[in-house]
Amino acid sequence: MSNSHPITQPSGKCIIFSAPSGAGKTTIVRHLLTQDFDLEFSISACSREKRGNEEDGKDYYFLSAEAFKQKIKDEDFVEWEEVYKDNFYGTLKSEIDRIWAQGKHVIFDVDVVGGLNLKRYFQDQALAIFVMPPSVEALESRLRYRDTETEEKIQTRMSKAKTELDFANQFDTIILNDQLDRALKIAEEKVSQFLND
């Protein structure tokens, strides 16, 4: 992925949260957004169908697979990946510009490959945090508790999760989410320290 359209004003910082599905990264990110850190959530683009009451431009930027592929050609993404066949997720450069233009820092909630790609792109401007589930079993029971996935989807997510855990040590820091209160407190400390450096 080349950068023929660099981001216009690399002024802010980035906080990247990655984890296998069900590890609790979204809960931590939502908590941090309520704190006084001047953070703004980076809305990802995706090519999947909307779920439930999801809104375009709030939960995701929903694109068709064709439109997504065109944006890849136009180099409009900081990073993107094809998670499953024709199921794309990515971060638009325009989204980062939008947030930095407001004088805020960007916070990402992305999967593990996406997180590492973002870290590679932003380097020292980014803090990449891996949220570690207490165990693979805990992860599976959380996914089942959600009750939003078919058995086949759960199995797919679980095999992906086992692979993703191997990448944990490539992140700047790992937060074990075995007790949510403690994980939130550690996340606050890490983010505060990074933004104030």
Residue-level pLDDT at 7: 56
Q: What six digits make up the tokens of 20?
A: 């296998």
* 23 and 133 Cβ atoms separated by less than 8 Å: yes
Query: Check: CATH 3.40.30.10 for 14-196?
Result: no
**In 3D, which of 173, 100, 162, 133 has the Cα closest to residue 27?**
133
**In 3D, which of 92, 36, 84 has the Cα closest to residue 68?**
92
Residue-level pLDDT at 8: 53
Indicate the domain borders of the chain: 14-196
What pLDDT tens digit does each residue of the chain (197 aa) get?
334 455 555 579 999 999 998 899 999 999 999 999 999 999 999 999 898 999 999 999 999 999 999 999 999 999 998 987 889 999 999 999 999 999 999 999 998 999 999 999 999 999 999 999 998 888 888 888 877 778 888 888 889 889 999 999 999 999 999 999 999 999 999 999 999 98
22 CA to centre of own chain: 13
| Alpha-helical segments (H) within 42-87 | 65-73
Amino acid at 180: L
Residue-level pLDDT at 10: 56
Residue-level pLDDT at 4: 43
Residue-level pLDDT at 1: 39
